[in-house]
Structure 1
């Protein structure tokens, strides 16, 4: 179970703490305009699930499990048939949607993939009349800088806690 709370979550009987981390919750009410890209953006789905999980496991953008791609729309970029970048949607509290799973294979960084994918995900959320938000590990200054360049602003520090059965 993953919990996002303003402060560390107290111990829960019959569970064990897997991890906890301070994160910056960020929101966007608008997104910078799109720019031309020299790569094709693909819609990802069940057929891509194993590669999506492998990419997330390699890059560690945050929790990503076997069925995370079912929580919302995910898009990605393939190079020579390999999934090298993705971004999508995860939590959906009423009126809000979280942009999530933003990651790029280390061998393919610096091509603008993360920026363009997150821009498209965010634009889709805003077009539905919802508030876009995301979480970044508070010490990931590179990601935070990218998110700010796309129109996201820091809202609050939160603690992300993962609990499992004892």
Structure 2
């Protein structure tokens, strides 16, 4: 299993399968406005922000892999936090999708945005759903749980957007939707991976119990253009 691309996953996705949705140069790129606000750099430990400055608006916030040193002129570090990068190591999940689960499409956009607003699952833009396949569970015509895909590294595919409405938690919906996404990825001969904040031990334990294992620890930064 070749996991080398996971050392610089944002860059690999922005310059690989998602290149058509990215903007920038041979040294630095961002997802186009509307997609997940991520930055990637050819040299993640020495990022060159010069090409991004004219492509980013004042006040825009982005996530990227941290580096040693301060923010460059015109940028501000708002947050730095440790995260875990986890890779699927278990067999193909055998459980069926949860009842009432179905793929999410353009007509579900309002429901997706409402759930994201209520649960804050991490960086999520109005076009993030287009970055991969998303599944959701509806109850009384309301989206109560969702999981999908974000970074695309070819043979490696990220599981992301995992969220459940407060009243839907504890029912196993997140796990079932993750297994639905993982199953499809494995059937495409892709290796599933995900990122989780190291402080979210409840999620870490769930992912470990399901079959994910920590590949590496990394620091993430939230930056704003000033």
TM-score of the superposed pair, with normalisation by structure 2: 0.67
Higher mean C-alpha displacement, 86-95 vs 74-83: 86-95
Match of 1:30 in 2: 90
C-alpha RMSD of the superposition? 1.9
Change (3 A) 1:3 1:28: same
Change (3 A) 1:32 1:125: closer
The counterpart of 1:130, out of the listed 178, 190, 201, is 190
Asked if residue 87 in structure 1 is aligned to residue 162 in structure 2, the reply is: no
- Which has the bigger relative contact order, CA under 8 A and spacing at least 6? 1
- More strand by percentage: 1
CA distance in 1, matches of 2:136, 2:126: 17
Q: CA deviation at 1:93?
A: 2.1
Which ranges in structure 1 are unaligned for 5 or more consecutive residues? Answer: none
Does the CA-based 8 Å contact 1:22-1:158 persist in structure 2?
Answer: yes
Asked if residue 62 in structure 1 is aligned to residue 126 in structure 2, the reply is: no
SS in 2 for 1:94: coil
Change (3 A) 1:67 1:38: closer
Which ranges in structure 2 are unaligned for 5 or more consecutive residues? Answer: 1-61
Match of 2:63 in 1: 2
5 Å-filtered alignment, 1:1-166, equals 1-5=62-66, 10-31=70-91, 33-35=93-95, 39-166=99-226
Change (3 A) 1:99 1:37: closer
Higher mean C-alpha displacement, 149-158 vs 7-16: 7-16
